[in-house]
Amino acid sequence: MWHLYALYQQNIPCIIKWIVCGMRPHFTNKETNKEKLYYEVFDKYTKYINEVGWIGCEERELWRRMRGGNFNRCHKLRPYIKEKLKHIHDFSRFLKKYEKILPDI
């Protein structure tokens, strides 16, 4: 819940409404341009968290199998790490684009 408070502190009611109510904000004028940018960052961050989280689940499943003595899927270790790093680098490049526009990121 602390992230909702942080968004509230930044005075971004459209994004809070979207998070709490599941409603995507509608941007109609120039005054909401900054809110639109925050929404784009939030959307991309959500996708990043989901992808990295899914890979984390797969890694934990592999670890459980290996802990039990089943090593027939060890070849998956490197692809999981590479895929996770790809998502990390992609999101990092995305944030770099927004650093100058939204300095608090």
Instruction: Please write the tens of the pLDDT for every residue from 61-76.
Output: 999 999 999 999 999 9
Concatenated DSSP letters for the chain? -HHHHHHHHTT-HHHHHHHHH-PPPP--SGGGHHHHHHHHHHHHHHHHHHHHHHHHHHHHHHHHHHHTT--TTGGGHHHHHHHHHHHHHHHHHHHHHHTTTSTT-
Instruction: Specify the pLDDT at position 101.
Output: 85
pLDDT digits over 7-51, tens only? 445 554 555 455 545 555 555 555 577 788 888 999 999 999 999
Instruction: Specify the pLDDT at position 64.
Output: 97
Instruction: Specify the pLDDT at position 23.
Output: 53
pLDDT digits over 80-104, tens only? 999 999 999 999 999 999 888 887 8
Domain boundaries, the chain: 31-105
